[in-house]
Each structure stands twice: as structure tokens, then as C-alpha cells.
Amino acid sequence: MITVDVQVREAPYKIYLGEGILDRLAEEISAQNPSSVLVVTNVTVGVLYAKKVCEISSKICRTEVVYLPDGERYKSWAAFSEILEALAQMKADRHSLVIALGGGVVGDMAGFAAAIYMRGIDFIQVPTTLLALVDSSVGGKTGMNMRAGKNLLGAFHQPKAVIADTAFLTTLPRREVSAGLAEIIKHGLLADAKYFDEIEREIDKLTALDHEVVARVVARSCQIKAAVVSRDAKEKGERAKLNLGHTFGHAIEKLAGYGTWLHGEAVACGLVLAARASQKLGKISSSDVQRIIALVKRAGLPTEIPGISLSKAIEAMKSDKKSSGGVIRFVLLNAIGEAYVDELPESILEEVLLEGGFVK
Ligand code: NAD
Ligand code: GLY
């Protein structure tokens, strides 16, 4: 098992990483000395893993479980209120603990419920998708979608620990593995050119879930995210770079209908759009763009999603959290391995969207 420190000032914590390390959860629950535990999961993950997690937890204190419906379209008020009602029903108090067992959807919603129940209780992340292992379980962004846009509601609420057990990946569908690879490629692109080279070299082993390569890459991605979050937990500046591909991606998810394209798939298209825009600004070369497109394809991810209205996409991006006064701020590339945040001239934005399959 290896550990990665997330050094957020108000509440530092550790990511415990390895294959078959779920039992570590017992120590982390005990360390919180909770009055009770609510395990939040969904109907798919719960069938596979809730029993084991409840066994671990119920040896320490009273434990209940709530099963949410599965899918991005349930990252909504109706499903969210089920978590709050479950907490109230079991008479959870300020010393109760939430365990988020699932992918990014469960993690974001369980974390948000923990952030607001009784003005905030503790929670532990137990990520079960590749995407959640390398990205969403780390950094304390919690929340859910509104009709107006992705993740518009939420809170920064850091977990007490992340138990990142790669053994969960054995049951993960292929398409979800690829979705996780989008965030891994993102980490290389925004922060570390050598890491991008490594992902390129190892992409076939990654898609095949080779144990040794997965362990190395999950650790490196967690280190990259942890370092950024440690410097800027509340996204006052640098953390915005972690949203590379996301301004485009969130618009795609919303306009295609939540769940039509997986978050990672939409982000993958967003990475390609951001790369094309960066090329048009003279920051990266066309061969860089071709490298990025080739890697996204080899990861089993789409490079464009045809048929989405260009004007609606621009409208949707104006309500992105990084926008201010209707001006959209994009994460762009100075080079492979170096991101920055800036506006994009409308002419370039329209050009890249049209090249990416959006329609007038
Ligand atoms: P997800 O949570 O919907 O999980 C994907 C699918 O895999 C679901 O059907 C789930 O039931 C299933 N699943 C999960 N673990 C499994 C396992 N081990 N075996 C079999 N099936 C399993 O999707 P995701 O890709 O994990 O997360 C996407 C969400 O994460 C989006 O809502 C996105 O906004 C959010 N996100 C948040 C952050 C953050 O910093 N908070 C960062 C990135 C993404
Ligand atoms: N996924 C972007 C962030 O965590 O800041």
C-alpha cells in the first residue's frame, strides 16, 4: 500500500492506495470514532460491495446503507434527498460518518450530503471507478447537477480519508475504464509532459488493466491532483486548471442529456477541443494535437460528438462556474504538460466547435 498526502490547510488527509486494501477502512473509521455510519452507494455497486463495507463498519459502530439509483441523471435533488432522509431516519448526529462507496456520482452526492447535514459531518471516500480513484474522490469538490448545468450546486468538503482499492476495477465495465482514462490523460496534459509520454507508452496495458501499470498511474494521477489541491483547495486560481476539457465537456453532457455520454467521454472530446483551440492560438503544434487525438482514440474514447447545437453550447458554457459576467474562461495548453486559463476569441471558439462536430 502506498499513501499520498493531501495537504489542505484546514483538514489534511491521506489517500491509501493499493490492490486489496479495503480492510484499511476499519482503521480510518475507528480514527473518527463515529456514533454511527451511513454507507451511501448505488444499486449497481451496492450489490457487489456494500456487504463487505458494512461488515467492516458494523464491527465498529451501528451502520446503515442507502442505495441510490444508478446514473448521472440521478445526480439530482430527488436522489440527493434520499441520502439526507436516510441520515435523519437513522438519527445520525454530528458525530456520524458517511462512507461514499461508488464512482464519482455517488462520491459527489454523498460528500455534499455530509457537507450540509447538521452543518457538516465527516465522510470517507471509497472510490470504485477508475475515474473516481484518480480524480473525483480527491480534493473535496462535492455536489450535484441542476437543470441549468453540471455541478452547479455543491460545497468544498474534504473527506477524512480516501481508500483507493484498485481491486474494485475488476468488475468495472470497459466503457467506464475508458472514461477514467480521460481524466488520466487530462492530468498528463495539464501538469506533466513526461507523464503524458508514459500514458502514451502504456495505453494498451492501461486499457487492459495491467495491475502494475494501473497502480503506477493511479498513484501518479493522485499525486498530481493532491499537489494542486494542496496549493489551492478552493479554486482561487491554479485548481481551475484541473478543469481542462470540462467547460466543453459539461456543455456536451448537459445538451446531449445527462448520461447519454459518460462524463469521461465528454471530457475526452473537451480535451481535443481545448487542444485545437490552443493550436489556433499558436501555443501548441498540429503534431501535438494529432498526438492528443491519437491517444484519446487509443484509450477507447470519442474525439468528437456530432450534432450538438453550437449556439446552445456557447450558451451552456456561459453558465459554467469559471465564467464571469457571461465571459467564458477556458483551460488551454501552452504545451503538452502545461495548462493556463484564459478567454477564447469567439471566432476561434466557433471554429473549433464546428471542427468538433457541433452544428450551426
Ligand atoms: P459513475 O459514478 O456514474 O460510475 C460509473 C458507472 O460504473 C455507474 O454505472 C456505476 O454504478 C458503475 N460502477 C462503479 N463502480 C463499479 C465497479 N467497481 N464495478 C462495476 N460497476 C461499477 O461515474 P464516474 O465516471 O465514476 O464519475 C463521474 C462523475 O464524477 C460525474 O458526475 C462528474 O461530474 C464527477 N466528477 C467529480 C469530480 C470531483 O472533483 N468531485 C472530478 C471528476 C468527476
Ligand atoms: N475535477 C476538477 C477539480 O477537482 O478541481
Question: In this structure, are 209 and 162 located in the same domain?
Answer: no
Do residues 192 and 337 make contact, with C-beta atoms less than 8 angstroms apart?
A: yes
Q: Which atom of ligand 2 is nearest to the CA of 239?
A: 5
Q: Whose CA is nearest to atom 21 of ligand 1?
A: 172
In angstroms, what is the span from residue 281 Cα to ligand 1's centroid? 33
The pLDDT value recorded for residue 317 is 93
106 lines ligand 1 (CB under 6 A): yes
Confirm whether 31 is domain-assigned.
yes
Instruction: Mark whether 199 and 348 lie in a shared domain.
Output: yes
Split into its structural domains, the chain has a count of 2
For the chain, first and last CA: distance in Å?
51
Determine the distance separating the centroid of ligand 1 and the alpha carbon of 253, expressed in angstroms. 14
Which residue's CA lies nearest to atom 5 of ligand 2?
242
Residues 146 and 189 reside in one and the same domain: no
- From first to last of its 360 residues, what are the pLDDT tens digits of the chain? 999 999 999 899 999 999 999 999 999 999 999 999 999 999 999 999 999 999 999 999 999 999 999 999 999 999 999 999 999 999 999 999 999 999 999 999 999 999 999 999 999 999 999 999 999 999 999 999 998 888 999 999 999 999 999 999 999 999 999 999 999 999 999 999 999 999 999 999 999 999 999 999 999 999 999 999 999 999 999 999 999 999 999 999 999 999 999 999 999 999 999 999 999 999 999 999 999 999 999 999 999 998 999 999 999 999 887 788 888 999 999 999 999 999 999 999 999 999 999 999
Any domain includes 82: yes
- pTM assigned to the model: 0.97
Q: Is 321 in the pocket of ligand 1 (CB under 6 A)?
A: no
Ligand 1 atom nearest the C-alpha of 142 is 41
Q: Are residues 152 and 189 in the same domain?
A: no
**Do both 90 and 62 map to the same domain?**
yes
234, 248: one domain: yes
Together in a domain, 133 and 192: no
Please report whether residue 360 resides in a domain.
no
The answer to whether the CB of 322 is under 6 A from ligand 2 is no
Which ligand 1 atom is nearest residue 108's CA?
A: 41
Are 65 and 122 contained in the same domain? yes
- Closest by Cα among 359, 307, 349 to 328: 349
Ligand 1 within 6 A of CB of 32: no
User: Can you tell me the distance from the alpha carbon of 164 to that of 217, in angstroms, rounded to the nearest whole number?
Assistant: 13
In the listed set 137, 171, 205, which residue is the last one of a domain according to the structure?
Answer: 171
Are 184 and 195 in contact by the 8 Å Cβ rule? The answer is no
d(Cα 220, Cα 226) in Å, to the nearest integer? 10
| CATH (domain of 186) | 1.20.1090.10
Q: Are 178 and 263 contained in the same domain?
A: yes
- Is residue 81 assigned to a domain? yes
Are residues 261 and 165 part of one domain?
no
CB of 235 sitting under 6 A from ligand 1: no
Would you name the residues annotated as active-site residues?
119, 141, 183, 225, 235, 239, 243, 246, 250, 263
Q: Are residues 318 and 178 in the same domain?
A: yes
Closest atom of ligand 2 relative to the 243 alpha carbon: 2
In a domain? residue 277: yes
Residue 185 domain boundaries: 174-355
**Positive/negative CA dihedral, 111, 117, 119, 120:** negative
Cβ-based neighbours of 31, under 8 Å, separated by 6 or more: 160, 161
**243 Cβ inside 6 Å of ligand 2:** yes
Which one of 151, 171, 191 terminates a domain?
Answer: 171
Domain stop point among 171, 205, 223: 171
Does residue 248 belong to any structural domain of this protein? Answer: yes
Ligand 1 center to 129 CA (angstroms)? 6
188 and 49 housed in the same domain: no
Does some domain include residue 297?
yes
CATH code for the domain in which residue 45 is found: 3.40.50.1970
The finding on whether 331 has its CB within 6 A of some atom of ligand 2 is no
